[in-house]
Amino acid sequence: MQLSVMVARAVVSAFIAWLRVSGQPGVTGQQRDQLVAVLQPEFGGPGLGVKDWLLGRVTSFMAPRRDAFSNWSGAPLGDILRYQARGETLRNFIGERVRQTGASVILAHSLGGVAAVDWLASGNRNLAALVTVGSQAPFFYEIDALASCPYGTKLPESFPRRWLNFYDPRDFLSYAGQALFKGFAHDVKVDNGQPFPEAHSAYWHNDAEVWPEINRFLP
């Protein structure tokens, strides 16, 4: 049920972002929540009765704007699809950078967090800690899309026990991982003070929460 809510939020956030970049009128917070509630049944949630009407309206609105929406969403979706097809290249890059620098800690953002988790889970890397920010690694694990850790299996014992994972409820591309990766991930919920999609990159400017927590976490 939690997954269906996350997917519905992601779809609505993409729609709202498209409205913003295309100069269309936005939606209120109440309308956003209503859209999420109506879309949720399509992803496994409880039925609401009004979904066919609203989804029909959304479809009618989006149909003539499909090309523009595809152009807008192509970059982020393309990154994810490219990683799923050729993720080994990025994982090898992470490994090479760790060897070159002698790093003992990885700090990764967004899809980089997915690749970092995959790389660390695929062998004994002997790293001290991992910090992920706005990462989709927990979501990928839930949908069985992590290359190195199939859903239902545990992370290897060699995986760093010190894993700090930042997420912002307003960042629909960030996910909590503590419940899924027990004994490894430690979630930190933050408020970046920005709506989506700006919230996804605003962690680095969150001097009140993110950086002090990293400072406390790292020796």
Domain positions in the chain are 2-66, 87-217
132 phi/psi in degrees, rounded to 5? -115, 140
**CA nearest 219: which of 132, 129, 157, 158?**
129
| pLDDT score of 119 | 96
pLDDT confidence of residue 48: 46
- Residue 8: the pLDDT is 76
Is residue 12 within 8 Å of residue 39, measured between CB atoms? yes
* pLDDT confidence of residue 39: 77
> pLDDT under 50 in the chain at which residues?
1-2, 47-49, 72-75
Looking at residue 44, its pLDDT comes to 61
Model's pTM, two decimal places? Answer: 0.67
pLDDT of amino acid 1? 44
User: Span 87-217: which CATH code?
Assistant: 3.40.50.1820
pLDDT at residue 212 in the model: 97
The answer to whether 167 and 175 have CB atoms below 8 angstroms apart is yes
